[in-house]
């Protein structure tokens, strides 16, 4: 039985709580929060909610701490700090800062003799290993990553900060024609605009200047100005009724060639269609907790990523079951 602690209690943490329930070899031991623990109500019966101030005293009761903070400000500090006392897993997803985060966490975990996995989830995570597998198998080729259709929380937040906006849900949508060109073996060079479109459902304050809001969205640098963006104003009721989920997904496609003269085209495609982005990410974290325990038992300490995990270590199956039923 793997005793798991969760730090934080947002969407991702609730997903971890649900995923633990689906894995009979896992047990939720405690949830740690920066809020007043009395105000945090979790779903699992008889599991304590504890202040993060007391986390150190749980050292001997928790095998793996799953960190459910944000990548912007929480995890860069939290993961190395907690790795001094616990085995840790995070979903740090700021791609450009991964090497620095890795170095910090590796230093802390190596020194304390713990194992740490960073940047798990689906991108970075499952999409990353699919890029790696596919590029190793088809060295002459090109990778393409498409996201969506799904809700981008960062883009939704950016729109919510525009004056006059009460709520927004931003969907990222891959362009089907671009995906077909990639699958055909054409190996196109695609601009940002050619790969994805963006669709914003916006609830505006009464009397707000909708034309100004629409213009502010469409011209927002980094977030929207490089995309064809559609803005649709809806009511708060419509928002709650039709857009309360957090679906996402996407595809990693490698288009490559084999043969003496590269005469044969080969395509590898990996596709996720997710009703709940945070729950799926959580499910990856929980499977990786099992792998971490097996790797730690073999004496491995320090920081690793999904690239370092042999698939067998993720599974609760024995080698005999795997060879007999999965291979």
22 or 39: whose CB is closer to its own copies? 22
CB of 24 to its own copies, least distance (A): 9
**Of the candidates 177, 111, 115, 118, which has an alpha carbon nearest to the alpha carbon of residue 146?**
177
Q: Is 206 in the site for its own copies (CB under 8 A)?
A: no
Distance (Å, whole) CA 243 – CA 128 = 28
Contact 150, 327 (CB under 8 A): no
Distance (Å, whole) CA 100 – CA 128 = 18
Residue with tokens 């006059």: 164
Q: Is 22 in the site for its own copies (CB under 8 A)?
A: yes
3-class secondary-structure state, position 154: helix
Q: Is 153 in the site for its own copies (CB under 8 A)?
A: no
Q: Is 323 in the site for its own copies (CB under 8 A)?
A: yes
Task: Choose which of 54, 56, 111, 140 interacts with its own copies (CB under 8 A).
Answer: 140
Q: Binders of its own copies among 39-68, rule CB under 8 A? A: 43
What are φ and ψ of residue 185, in 5° steps? 90, 10
Q: Is 18 in the site for its own copies (CB under 8 A)?
A: yes
Q: Is 15 in the site for its own copies (CB under 8 A)?
A: yes
Distance (Å, whole) CA 67 – CA 86 = 11
Contact 171, 199 (CB under 8 A): yes
Task: Name the helix (H) or strand (E) containing 192.
Answer: helix 192-195
3-class secondary-structure state, position 173: strand
113 or 245: whose CB is closer to its own copies? 245
CB of 78 to its own copies, least distance (A): 19
Q: Binders of its own copies among 251-310, rule CB under 8 A? A: 258-260, 264-276, 279-280, 282-284, 287, 290, 305-310
Please give the residue ranges that form the binding site for its own copies (CB under 8 A). 15, 17-19, 21-23, 43, 95, 98-99, 102, 119, 124, 126, 128-129, 131-133, 135-140, 183, 245, 258-260, 264-276, 279-280, 282-284, 287, 290, 305-312, 314-316, 320, 322-324, 326-327
């Amino acid at each position: 039985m793997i005793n798991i602690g969760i730090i934080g209690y947002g969407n991702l943490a609730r997903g971890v709580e649900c995923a633990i329930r689906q894995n009979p070899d896992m047990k939720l031991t405690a949830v740690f929060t920066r809020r007043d623990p009395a105000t945090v109500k979790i779903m699992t019966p008889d599991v304590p909610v504890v202040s993060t101030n007391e986390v150190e005293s749980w050292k001997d009761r928790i095998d793996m701490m799953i960190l459910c903070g944000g990548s912007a400000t929480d995890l860069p500090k939290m993961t190395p700090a907690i790795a001094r006392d616990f085995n840790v897993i995070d979903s740090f997803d700021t791609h450009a800062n991964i090497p620095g985060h890795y170095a910090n966490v590796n230093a802390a975990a190596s020194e304390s003799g713990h194992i740490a996995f960073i940047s798990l989830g689906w991108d970075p995570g499952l999409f990353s290993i699919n890029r790696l597998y596919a590029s190793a198998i088809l060295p002459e080729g090109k990778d393409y990553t498409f996201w969506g259709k799904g809700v981008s929380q960062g883009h939704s937040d950016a729109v919510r900060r525009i004056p006059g906006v009460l709520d927004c849900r931003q969907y990222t949508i891959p362009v089907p024609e671009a995906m077909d060109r990639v699958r055909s073996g054409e190996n196109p060079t695609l601009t940002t605009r050619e790969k994805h479109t963006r669709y914003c459902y916006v609830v505006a304050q009464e009397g707000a200047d909708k034309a100004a809001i629409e213009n502010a969205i469409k011209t927002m640098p980094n977030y929207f100005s490089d995309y064809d963006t559609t803005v649709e104003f809806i009511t708060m009721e419509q928002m709650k009724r039709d857009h309360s989920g957090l679906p996402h997904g996407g595809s990693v496609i490698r288009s490559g060639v084999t043969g003496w003269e590269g005469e044969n085209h080969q395509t590898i495609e990996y596709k996720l269609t997710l009703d709940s982005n945070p729950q799926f990410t959580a499910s990856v974290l929980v499977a990786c907790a099992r792998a971490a325990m097996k790797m730690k038992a073999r004496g491995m300490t320090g920081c690793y990523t999904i690239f370092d995990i042999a698939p067998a270590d993720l599974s609760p199956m024995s080698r005999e079951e795997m060879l007999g039923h999965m291979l």
